[in-house]
Amino acid sequence: MLTTKPRGTNDILPGEVEKWQYIEKVIREVCQTYGYREIRTPIFEHTELFQRGVGETTDIVEKEMYTFKDRGDRSITLRPEGTAAVVRSYLENKLYAGTQPLKLYYIGPMFRYDRPQAGRYRQFHQFGVEVLGVHSPGIDAEVMAMAMEVYGRLGLKDLELHINSLGCPQCRPLLKERLQEFLQPHLEGFCQQCKGRYHRNPLRILDCKSEKCKQLSEGAPTTADCLCPSCAAFFDEVKRCLDLLGIDYVVDKNLVRGLDYYTHTAFEIMAKGIGAQSSVGGGGRYNGLVEACGGPEIPGIGYALGLERILLAMEQQGAEFPPAWRPDVFLVTACPEAEEEVYKLLADLRELGYSADKDYMGRSLKAQMKYAGKLNARRTVIIGENELKNGTITVKDMITGEQEEIKREKITVLLGGK
């Protein structure tokens, strides 16, 4: 146990972590392009926030939360997603009092007690955005455009943007009634959870992962069949704005999403060829969430993507990552007397902003050269007796293998300015 990580978690090791840094960098660039600012909320929140925010009948709240009592006997939950926490922070910090809409983003770990498999983990990472304070089809289209921009800049291909409208509280009673009518004859065949959902929230049944429930609910009435005129018009406008922005999409009437807070627009991005966990991101509008969390009636829309899945998709599609990091220079101590010079040069180079390193294991000259190769250093700088005598250094280009002896001061010319 001491040397085994908990199931469904991952170590992100050097070599791999650079890929994460790259993805995060691209994400931050896109956020800046679109005018989103970062928010950082706690990793854990009061359990009630997610129960109320995400919804009591969702898989997340019913089965997947990491919930525990702290030493003060408070029920605490490791955040399973970011939206409820952002809304909590928006209210607690009265961010609604400032200029609206507020465009926020976050990157960080989330926790769900899910059955681990490729692309599905118990600790995973999300990049998410939330726009609060505006109900306009244009912003819905913008959030989707931004999501697609992230994938595009990361070099992902073959993605499909699925969109649907989940309606509003006015359309829901009709939907509930028609769903119950359709599902009632098959009720006995559904899983225990879905039986409970039948009365409380039949829409949730359409999102059940059980094959049997999926089969039984095939052909059920969809939200699209029950939209009120105002929701239908809003959805048409969202599609028009997507067209204006040149974003391709597929209307998917079966898209319901796994969280209860959605109203109006819901969307998901699917990647082909990454296996069962093909959803590389999803989101939607949540006009009732701020109110459900105890705040005023303020609309919102957001989206989140799973970083692990993005990475998986990029690797499977052969997307390019920047070249692996390498030190600019490795300093080789060719005789014990050179050590002082090596330390001085090391300090100088680092001060100038170069990535420089040396040996601390008492390696032989040959072993130091080999070690420099393993570190993938761009150049080695060798200081030995001759160099000490001449006030020079010997620089070896580790790509071409060329070697030259130069005056010590010339090193920065050779390395290029920083």
**Would you tell me which residues interact with ligand HAM (CB under 6 A)?**
81-83, 112, 114, 119-121, 124, 126, 128, 130, 258-259, 279-284, 302-306, 308-309
CB of 43 to ligand HAM, least distance (A): 15
Task: Supply 59's token pair.
Answer: 């898989």
Nearest to ligand HAM of 81, 260 (CB atom): 81
Give the C-alpha separation, 55 to 99, whole Å.
29
Cα dihedral sign for 215, 219, 225, 231? positive
CB of 42 to ligand HAM, least distance (A): 16
CB of 175 to ligand HAM, least distance (A): 20
Nearest to ligand HAM of 55, 327 (CB atom): 55
| 267 neighbors 279 (Cβ within 8 angstroms) | no
CB of 408 to ligand HAM, least distance (A): 52
Helix (H, G, I), strand (E, B) or coil at 327: coil
Enumerate the β-bridge partners of residue 323: none
Nearest to ligand HAM of 295, 384 (CB atom): 295
Task: Please provide residue 356's backbone torsions phi and psi, each rounded to the nearest 5 degrees.
Answer: -130, 150
What is the DSSP secondary-structure string of 138-187?
HHHHHHHHHHHHHHHHTT--SEEEEEEE---TTTHHHHHHHHHHHHGGGG
CB of 352 to ligand HAM, least distance (A): 42
Residue with smallest beta-carbon separation from ligand HAM:
302
What is the 8-class DSSP label of residue 14?
Answer: T
Nearest to ligand HAM of 162, 197 (CB atom): 162
Question: Which of 258, 298, 279 is CA-nearest to residue 135?
Answer: 298
CB of 334 to ligand HAM, least distance (A): 50
Those residues with Cβ within 8 angstroms of residue 98's Cβ, 6 or more apart along the chain or in another chain: none
| 224 neighbors 206 (Cβ within 8 angstroms) | no
CB of 306 to ligand HAM, least distance (A): 3
| 258 neighbors 276 (Cβ within 8 angstroms) | no
